[in-house]
Amino acid sequence: MSQLNEATLTTTGEYASWPAQSFWSSVREALHGSHRDYTQGPIGRAILLLAVPMVLEMVMESVFAVCDVFFVSHLGVDAVAAVGLTESMLTIVYAIAIGLSIGASAMVARRIGEKDPEGAARAAVHGMTLGISVALVLGTLGAMLGPKLLGLMGASSGVLAMGSGYVRVMLGGQASILMLFLINAIFRGAGDPAISMRSLWLANAINIGLGPCLIFGVGPFPRLGVLGAAIATTIGRSTGALYGLSRLLRRQRPGEGAKRIDIHARHLRLDFSLLWRLLRLSSSGMLQAIIGTSSWVGLVRLLSTFGSAALAGYTIGIRIIVFALLPAWGLGNAAATMVGQALGAKKPERAEKAVWLSGTYNLYFLGAVGLVFVIFTRQIVSVFTSDPVAASYAIDCLRIVAAGFVFYSYGMVLTSSFNGAGDTWTPTILNLIVFWLWEIPLAWVLAERFGMGPRGIFVAIAIAFSTLALLSAVLFKRGKWKLKHV
């Protein structure tokens, strides 16, 4: 829609509740928490109001990821390798958390778009019920089996000695990961991303402040080494999850805008038909994420054969890449919310326009960041390690993977949009084809048969994500996602 048409509709029709305002006024509104109806009004401004807190939420998550490995890197290569191996196992937990989040967020967004706040509240409660149940089982198993799993991942004796406590705490504290992901997804689906932003900022501010104190023994804190990083992370995430839960359960205060999710005692009664629908939607989302993220376990296992330095370099390079990709996921999350609510309001054309516009914004952002990463690779990596061998691997990883950022920008938005529509099977099938039938075999062939070593694995990552973006665009244009019912 042209700017002239948007200006005309500002005073008439569905845009009447969206008076003209400056860019910075919109940013302030987004940070404070907007109460607008995202199923109407200018699409660009709706994306801005949703994306600003979602991007800032992911910025803090990416800062945490980089800071964590920065502090741990001062403990040596074995410490970084322990973090890398544990993170590769936690990708399965993240996959489950993402799957539950996809289901809950899609269902909440659809109910909000349908103007059904009771249905949205019930979906939120049932989503949290699933999350708590899964967390209890996985946390118990993780605490018991953590060191054995670390050994199975190819950890050396030095890595096992340093990382056993770390892996026990990280895997045992999975409830904090699951609930933080899930509660924040509920707020995003409802169109309240500012609350999710504050929750994650609180969680990671605690982690970043407490982490170095426990790792290095600053002041009255004990020197716990890499174990301290795990304790700080778990405390931070648990605090953020509790904050989000308190906002869900809090009664509306005088002067506040109407709550989109207002949970009462009547919503706590389990509806097994609703629970089953949510489980089906979430299970395909989990499968989708597990297929995608477990492929990283395969890549790490392949990388571990090249030694701790290669593994440490990969861990540093990927953490820096995550620094850029997580904020870009914020735009993907904004598109998912727009899609879910627009389909609930029976406006599929609005959903489609929002997706392509979000992809364009993401292209500008990731294109610029990718260029910086390619040009200043050595300077960036030097901040995180002085080990020349690990640094050489990190430089290769960062430069090669960042070269494909232009493709990833649309791929991330399109994948999120399928999920926002409740079409979780399309990205699931794409993940299976791209990551398991294409990326891992390609990585093995390039690394082993062509003698490229770790560099071949990095090339395979870039090719796989670019392939995923192209295939997603083809399937999105076919439009079957518009027909999904949640």
SS3 423: coil
Report the half-sphere exposure of 135 (CA within 13 A, side-chain side): 20
Nearest CA to 158 out of 101, 77, 98 is that of 77
* Dihedral of alpha carbons 161, 166, 171, 173, sign: positive
Q: What is the pLDDT of residue 260?
A: 86
Contact 346, 358 (CB under 8 A): no
What six digits make up the tokens of 42? 């200018």
- For the residues of 218-259, what is the DSSP string, one character each? -TTS---THHHHHHHHHHHHHHHHHHHHHHHHSPPPTTPPPP
Rg value, the chain, Cα = 22
Contact 214, 230 (CB under 8 A): no
Alpha-carbon 339 to chain mean position: 18
Taking residue 273's Cβ as centre, other Cβ atoms within 10 Å add up to: 8
* Dihedral of alpha carbons 419, 422, 427, 428, sign: positive
Q: Report the phi/psi class of residue 20: left, alpha or beta, with left for phi > 0 and alpha for psi in -120 to 50.
A: beta
Please state, in angstroms and rounded to a whole number, the distance separating the CA atoms of residues 253 and 258: 9
Alpha-carbon 234 to chain mean position: 17
CA separation, residue 372 to residues 321, 347, 386, 412, 433 (Å): 12, 39, 21, 20, 31
Burial of 265 (0-12, 13-18, 19+ CB in 10 A): exposed
Per DSSP, the chain holds a count of helices (H) and strands (E) of 18, 0
Q: What is the pTM of this model?
A: 0.84
Domain ranges across the chain: 43-483
- In sequence order, the 6+-apart residues with CB closer than 8 A to the CB of 271 are 122, 126
Please state, in angstroms and rounded to a whole number, the distance separating the CA atoms of residues 244 and 197: 10
Q: What is the pLDDT of residue 12?
A: 41
Burial of 36 (0-12, 13-18, 19+ CB in 10 A): middle
Per-block mean pLDDT, blocks of 10 residues, the chain (486 long): 40 57 88 90 93 87 71 85 82 85 94 94 93 88 87 82 89 90 94 93 91 93 93 94 92 67 87 90 88 82 88 87 83 94 96 96 92 92 88 94 89 94 94 94 95 94 94 95 89
Nearest CA to 334 out of 34, 14, 23 is that of 34
Q: What is the pLDDT of residue 325?
A: 85
